[in-house]
Amino acid sequence: MAGAGAGTGRAVPPDTNAMSKDVSDRGSSAGAAGESGRVGRWIARLFRATAGFSGLSSDAPASSGWPWAAKWRVTSFGIFLGLAVTVVWAVTGAHYFWPGWIWFALALPLAFQGAIRRALRTNGRRALAMHAAVSLVVALAGIVIWLLSGHGYFWPIWPFLGLAIALAGHAWLVPMLPNNREQALRERVAVLTRTRRGALDVQAAEMQRLERDLHDGAQARLVSLGMSLGMADELLDIDPAEARRLLVDARIAAGDALADLRALVRGIHPPVLADRGLNGAIQALVLAVPIPVEATIDLPEARLALPVESAAYFAVAEALTNVVKHSEASTAWIQVHLADGKLSIVVGDDGIGGADPEQGTGLRGIERRLAAFDGTLRVSSPPGGPTLVTMEVPCEPSSQKTSPS
């Protein structure tokens, strides 16, 4: 039953649902999107029931709960019933053609199913299309009833009028509804496009920095090491003292290359974050800050999603660096907690305040990095302090556990 299946999918695609949740987080058309999702689900269920009952389906058997053969049986049964009553009518004297009513009753669900399926296929204003389709079927049903009941006075004109007015009203209202789902989705796409570009820019810049650091650091030192070893090899028999000096040089170059690589790794993915997760990594950060920092960390045992963990770590590191560099604070505090699928981090200090995220690239970089996860960064820093940097990132714990202990 791919038709019904696809209809269900279209009515409530799972990611659209998630998206509308995100959108609601941003405070725009929350209600409208959620409502239309619910209506869509309800209609899909009704549609499935109708399709099943009418038993007509041209779809693949695997895609629904109804086996294809059973549906075919129901359809054949319907046709058989129609024919049977017609025969009964013919045998009993072929007076008033009452089987027309039976046929009508059998055809009605099919008509509804066809109309709704067609309506679901339209893009955009699906509710309006659904309304039009149902109105059309009701109008046709009216005409058929009028025909079957002896076509006297054309009373269906009145329901037609009512349906037409309702439909026209709906069509007139739709463009005026503020923030419908389409609008919300369009805004969402714009945000995603912007943040994706931001994330890719950050990544590309990182890669370039890594390449340069490797080229000027570890690689250069390894070349020098190789040269020292090569010269030592040549001098070993002629001038052992000089050869020994070169060997010492080589050892120093190896140590420097390792130190460079360590610094590089710390910048990509700090080992302590890999080992201990966000909790341990923040404690390690706090240990390196020269002023007392009170860290209140309330995180579940399970690890957070790795990219979020990493972004959060660098955000805290940047915030603490700013505290040390600019705030002249005597104490600072960090609060981290995960609730309602949202990771909240607050870094505060009792310093001089007056921090401006527009100045300097640090906080802006963090903001862009967090934006890739729909995260936000707010800075409150009145002159005289205190400074509060608040970061929020939607986040679920991943299945990966922290190191066994």
Partner 1 sequence: MRAVIAEDLALLRDGLVRLLTAHDFDVVEAVEDGPSVLGALIGHRPDVAVIDVRLPPTFTNEGLLAAIEARRQVPGLPILVLSQYVEPLYARELLSDGAGGVGYLLKDRVMDVGQFVGAVRQVAAGGTVMDPEVVSRLLAKRVRDEPLGRLTTREREVLALMAEGRSNAAVASNMVVSEKAISKHIANIFVKLDLAPSDDDNRRVMAVLAYLNS
Which residue number, 299 or 363, has a Cβ lying nearer to partner 1? 299
Return the number of the residue (283 or 335) whose C-beta is nearest partner 1. Answer: 283
Distance CA 188, CA 309 (A): 24
Interacting positions 322-381 with partner 1 (CB under 8 A) = none
Shortest separation between residue 270's beta carbon and partner 1, angstroms: 9
Which residue in 79, 177, 259, 268 binds partner 1 (CB under 8 A)? 259
Of the residues 143, 165, 288, 354, which one makes contact with partner 1 according to CB under 8 A? 288
User: 335 near 296, Cβ under 8 Å?
Assistant: yes
Q: Does 291 bind partner 1 (CB under 8 A)?
A: yes
- Identity of the residue, 399 or 405, whose beta carbon is nearer to partner 1 in the bound complex: 405
Considering the complex, what minimum distance in angstroms separates the CB of residue 275 from partner 1? 4
283 counts as binding partner 1 under rule CB under 8 A: yes
Q: Edge-to-edge strands of the sheet including 342-349?
A: 293-298, 332-339, 342-349, 387-394, 376-380
Task: Please name every residue paired with 294 in a beta bridge, in sequence order, or none if there are none.
Answer: 333
Closer Cβ to partner 1, 71 or 276, answer by number: 276
Distances 239 to 10, 236, 251 between C-alpha atoms, Å: 82, 6, 19
Question: Tokens 């009993």, residue?
Answer: 92
Contact call for residue 405 and partner 1 (CB under 8 A): yes
List the one residue from 121, 186, 212, 251 that touches partner 1 (CB under 8 A).
251
Q: Is 272 in the site for partner 1 (CB under 8 A)?
A: yes
Q: Least CB distance from residue 35 to partner 1, whole Å? A: 47
Q: Phi then psi for 339, rounded to 5 degrees? A: -150, 145
Applying CB under 8 A, what is the total number of residues that bind partner 1? 25
Of 45 and 251, which CB lies nearer to partner 1 in the complex structure?
251
Q: Which of 141, 134, 139 is nearest to 106 (CA)?
A: 141
Contact region with partner 1 (CB under 8 A), list: 125-133, 218-226, 258-266, 381-389: 258-266
| Residue 266 binds partner 1, judged by CB under 8 A | yes
Stretch that binds partner 1, among 11-19, 31-39, 255-263, 355-363 (CB under 8 A): 255-263
For 242, residues 6+ apart whose C-beta sits below 8 A from its C-beta are: 235
- Closest distance between partner 1 and the C-beta of residue 296, in Å? 17
Which residues are paired to 332 by β-bridges? 293, 349
**In whole angstroms, how close is the CB of 252 to partner 1 at the nearest point?**
9
CA 12 to CA 298: how far, in whole Å? 35
Cis peptide leading into residue 386 (ω within 30°): yes
C-beta of residue 267 within 8 angstroms of C-beta of residue 318: no
Q: How far is the CB of 281 from partner 1 (least distance, A)?
A: 9
Q: Which stretch binds partner 1 (CB under 8 A): 110-118, 122-130, 217-225, 248-256?
A: 248-256
- Supply the DSSP symbol for 303: E
The answer to whether residues 398 and 368 touch, using CB atoms and an 8 Å cutoff, is no
SS3 241: helix
Q: What is the DSSP string of 139-201?
A: HHHHHHHHHHTT--S-TTHHHHHHHHHHHHHHHHHGGGSTT-HHHHHHHHHHHHHHHHHHHHH
As a whole number of angstroms, the distance between CA 128 and CA 289 comes to 61
Residue ranges of alpha helices (H) inside 55-156 are 68-91, 99-121, 126-148
Least gap, CB of 349 to partner 1 (angstroms): 14
Residues 6+ apart with CB under 8 A from 21: none
**What's the helix, strand, coil split of the chain in %, to 5?**
65, 10, 20
268 near partner 1 (CB under 8 A): no
191 binds partner 1 (CB under 8 A): no
- Applying CB under 8 A, the span of 167-175, 178-186, 209-217, 281-289 interacting with partner 1 comes to 281-289
139 within 8 A of 148, measured Cβ to Cβ: no
Among 265, 321, 325, 378, binds partner 1 (CB under 8 A): 265
CB of 330 to partner 1, least distance (A): 8
Near partner 1 by CB under 8 A: residue from 31, 169, 292, 354: 292
- Catalog residues that contact partner 1 under the rule CB under 8 A: 251, 254-255, 258-259, 262, 265-266, 271-272, 274-276, 280, 283-284, 287-292, 403-405
